[in-house]
Structure 1
Amino acid sequence: MWRQWIPFWHPGLSPQSGDVDLLFAGLLMTSALVLGILFFLLTLFCVRYRAGNLIDREDHIAKSWHWEVGWTTASLACFVGLFVWGASVYFEMYKTPADELVVFVVAKQWMWKTQHPGGQAEINALHVPTNRPVRLVMASQDVIHSFFIPALRLKHDVVPGRYQDIEIEVDRPGTYHLFCAEYCGTDHSGMIGEIVAMDPADFSNWLTRQAPSSSLAGEGGALFRELGCSGCHGPGSKIRAPPLEGLYGRPVPLSDGSTVIADDKYIRDSILLPRSQIVASYEPLMPSFEGKVSEEQLLRLVMYIKSLAGRRS
């Protein structure tokens, strides 16, 4: 309730926004305290040792290590405490709930394109249900962008060549600003959008009204066959390739003796850089699709392979 007494302060709308606000206030107060002490000492020394003041100015050599150790220790303890506080808020914001909704976000000059698992697509907008965690899987088509929602106190860079994850949750229905907080070119200022938070029932109705003829996984399956992937990874193939049924979420042994979990990043890297992580007992025969498929097509292929998780070859 303390935030309502601060002029021009707009409270956040996520479960962690209050913690972020309190941490920000703590950083401001700590910085103001350090600055106040600094200016107090500067003023004190300027007055005490001014040219017209009669004071002993002989060159006395005296050690003051106890003062130095004291203020150094106090400053260290203060800022370590702030670090631990900030780290706890960070881990709370980036935890992975069990009932999360997954939405894909592709950033490109100069727009945000969001894709729901059912195939619903939006430009510079994202509809989400209230009081439910949503995991955004983000990728950039060209340069570095930054996904920034001031009302939720959340900002995350979107880097080309890799997936970024961020958890969001909105407490109340409404429409909130979405910005790109990283300079990304001449029309950077126009790369804006909105987050539309809806009651769960209204969100379900919106998904139904916006539903396309096929889901992302269905479109990914068609693209999988169009690119010829089924010729190696499909049943009855003459080329020995790792099976994809039941792959997602399982550990994959590699030829170098290490093991990796088959998550979104692993699937993406296997499509673009197939020789970077070679599955044990398989030959590195798969060609690279880098430059041949877009980020949006990659998302569809990842969703299709994820849809095979419940199957076993």
Structure 2
Amino acid sequence: MGTVAVVGVGLIGGSIGMALRARGLAKEVVGVGRDLASLEVARERGAIDRATTDLARGVAEADVVVVCTPVGRVAEDVRRAADSAPPEALVTDAGSTKRAIVEAVEKSPRAAGMFVAAHPLAGSERSGAAFARADLYRDRVCVLTPTTRTPPGRLRRARTFWSGLGCRIVEMGPAEHDEVVAFTSHLPHALAAALAGAVPADWHPLAAGAFRDCTRVAGADTELWTAIFRENRGPLMNAVGKLQDRLAALKYALMNDDEEAIRRWWSDARSRRASFEAQQPPSV
């Protein structure tokens, strides 16, 4: 893939760099960031070959640019990268929301002609290049959200790039993506944080596996998830409403001591969980 510039070398960007280098897919991986100390961590971990805090310089010779900055900055960083990268370069991203990013990028004709929006569904409650892994994307879904303005050649290259990291490719529109991940990703994070916040700290000695598993992602970065919630607030509000309806049904069944309603409520959830498990690849 020639030279790949990773803009934002944290967990996501660092894992992209490690996967590229482990699989021998890039001639050089350039890390672009704001903090040289953090970039040095990425270099020591083997995520990048060299580092710079100058975005224009970092992407100047790139064949592929991957923007992995927080969602509120992605569109601007994509536009800046497109302005400085060679005109034939592919620019893609790893943002957890898509509609607002795509709409903002497509206001720039040059950026629109180089950009393919992407969301690799992989991550961790931990952050930073220190926790990056070369296998983070193996057998994970990466959603591409092309529009009518996406050049077919760039889309083909984006498929090749993300599948080269081990991803399974799914394509859908940006708005549909945001609606789906509001339920499948953003709502679970909100629920984990709500549960963690509802249990008093002095009760933690009595909390065991269920509490640990259900609240794991509540340990994720606050600023990251604040930005994601704001960026996708409409679909997330809808998802929260559906969850409230689901909890209200349980509350009503409990109020009436309705054994059969409680059983149906749980059995429906159990069958949906089984369906989810059956669709997961063996390595996930």
Same fold (TM over 0.5): no
TM range (shorter): under 0.3
Larger Rg: 1
Q: TM-score, normalised by structure 1?
A: 0.24
**Structure that is richer in helix per residue:** 2
**Structure that is richer in strand per residue:** 1
Q: TM-score, normalised by structure 2?
A: 0.26
